[in-house]
Structure 1
Amino acid sequence: MPIEFTHVPGKTHPADPTAPFFYDFVETATKLSLIEDIGFQKIVVDDPAGLLTNMDIAARALHRTSSLEVVLTHWAGVIEPTVAARQLAALDAKSGGRLSLRMLSEPLNDDDAETRPVGHTVVWQRVDEYLVLLKRLWSNDRPFDHEGAFYSVSGGYVPRKGPRSAGLSIRMGGRSGMALRVAGRHADVFQLTPGSLDEIRQLMERARNAAAEHGRAGKLRFALPVRIRSEDNASCQKAVEITGPPAQVALSLLPYAALGIEEFMMVGVDRPGDISAAGREVIALLRNSLTRREADVPQPGAFAPRVIREARAG
């Protein structure tokens, strides 16, 4: 089972603990090299300054790395889909296909509120239409017109496509029925929310069922955020927050991998020493443990139930 690791930056600037990870890009460039070399495959860009800043940071991060996938946090409604499609396709092309989108929902602005009721369902309907347009702009071979509930496009076309004509990989999450329906239609990676093994298993099943309605059940991959805390802060531990020495952390993740989770989004490893330890010890130990356990399994399907039983017994 191939496992990937994604670095989720926090706020760790030594001069200002509230400053974001990308505050000083000279310093960040050194961390990016370390993150790439130590075993992470992806890094999330989610700056509090918003989408346009995220796009700028993503461009610089892609330029400074050679294999790291940059996961760009993105919202519908900030810029028009035709503009976003062109800019994202250009970034993806320049990086050789190393850009992906992490789509979040957010409330509609005041202008939207004047013409339609604002609510959870409406927000996700806009995300749905936005993604439909992005995918169409990334794949069409001639201009098209579109008139929808949220967007109007005339002669929509992106002349310079990215290396993947079908578009960028889309990451989404959520627990509501509407969020799951939109994710089931569009997401390549479903980002889970922390919880117990049973809660996560149930959410995975709901997401698969939503994807199955669009013939995509087998195309959905799952990513789980995991916050790594030092043993000193163990008293503040919350759901799926892991503490302890590297071997213990790696073993704690095995039951989640057994559920079918193929990606761990690691939070709380921002200092160079923590990044090195996570890559050299946690990532390597988890991969080695998975390889050994799969080699010991006598028949397909025995790995997941056995590991989960062991975790519950422990």
Structure 2
Amino acid sequence: MPTEFISVTFPNASTEIAPIPGAGIDPEFLVRYAKNLDDYGFNYTLVPYGSDSYDPFTIGATIAAVTKNVSVIIALRPNTLYPTVAAKALATLDQLSKGRVVVHFIAGGSDAEQAKEGDFLSKDERYGRLEDYIKILRRAWESDAPFDWDSKYYTFKGFTNKVRPTKGTIPVSVGGSSDEAYRIGGSLADIFGLWGEPLKETKEQIDRIYGEAEKAGRKDRPRIWVTFRPIIAETDELA
């Protein structure tokens, strides 16, 4: 099984350990960091999203413009962008980067965080909306025929997408630890994101995801990416 490496990109040198109060975008830092990822062979970098964060599409476009190999993962909450608009925005960035875009969906785990941007759906409803969202994106990317949509979450008529991804589609990543997250990720996602946990618990989660993929009739399985926070020093004792 191949192993790939993913980083997180932030717009400045501020970190949880060494915060820089009031720090804004540092263009020189961002460009230098992105180029370092390319030079050191990272496969992906995630541009995170929160209600108080910078726009991930703009940050992602900057990364793509100064790199040649690293793929950009755009974190996206469905409540922040209508799916037909997102389909075009992601495909535009994919063309600019020559096929180096992935989208990571955040259904929304915190009611308070979602409410900051006007989203008052329940957690189950947020996952229902995400399911629609992914299906709409795939339809928009993979067919140039006009189509309608009429569901609890989205309604539109005659949408035609002429802005297509470089490779015909864009990989979709989903995360979460609820039953709905496993169901939607297992049935629809290309990649499922997990937090680093003990091996036993991690295996149980992966088995759940694969089980949902099988129930959905998939012949393939989602790839798995796992988030770790390594503590690095010159020796194990120092770390």
- The residue aligned with 1:124 is 127
- The residue aligned with 2:3 is 3
Deviation at 1:83, TM superposition (A): 1.0
Distance in 1 (alpha carbons) for counterparts of 2:231 and 2:24: 21
- The residue aligned with 2:94 is 92
Q: Residue type of the partner of 2:46?
A: V
- The residue aligned with 1:67 is 69
Distance in 2 (alpha carbons) for counterparts of 1:207 and 1:66: 32
Deviation at 1:20, TM superposition (A): 9.8
Deviation at 1:91, TM superposition (A): 0.9
- By relative contact order (CA 8 Å, sep 6+), the higher-ranking structure is 1
Deviation string 1:161-217 (CA, Å, 9 cap, x unpaired) is: 11122x210111212111111111221111112211100011110010011122236
Distance in 1 (alpha carbons) for counterparts of 2:193 and 2:122: 22
- The residue aligned with 1:32 is 34
TM-score of the two chains, using structure 1 as the length reference: 0.67
Distance in 2 (alpha carbons) for counterparts of 1:112 and 1:30: 36
Q: Decide whether the 8 Å contact of 2:195 with 2:228 is kept in 1.
A: no
CA RMSD of aligned residues (A): 2.7
Q: Residue type of the partner of 1:105?
A: A
Q: Residue type of the partner of 1:29?
A: V
SS at match of 1:218: coil
| Greater fraction of residues in helix | 1
Structure 2: stretches of 5+ with no match in the other structure: none
Deviation at 1:244, TM superposition (A): 2.7
- Structure 2 CA distance for partners of 1:7 and 1:20, relative to 1, 3 Å: farther
Deviation string 1:89-117 (CA, Å, 9 cap, x unpaired) is: 1111121110000111125658764xxxx
Deviation string 1:206-238 (CA, Å, 9 cap, x unpaired) is: 010011122236331111111111459xxxxxx
- The residue aligned with 1:147 is 150
* Alignment coverage as a number of residue pairs: 230
Question: Quick one: percent identity of the two aligned structures?
Answer: 25
Distance in 2 (alpha carbons) for counterparts of 1:201 and 1:77: 31
Q: How does 1:147-166 map to 2 (within 5 A)?
A: 147-165=150-168
Q: Residue type of the partner of 1:100?
A: V
Q: Residue type of the partner of 1:210?
A: E
Q: Decide whether the 8 Å contact of 2:79 with 2:119 is kept in 1.
A: no
Q: Decide whether the 8 Å contact of 1:81 with 1:130 is kept in 2.
A: yes
- The residue aligned with 1:244 is 236
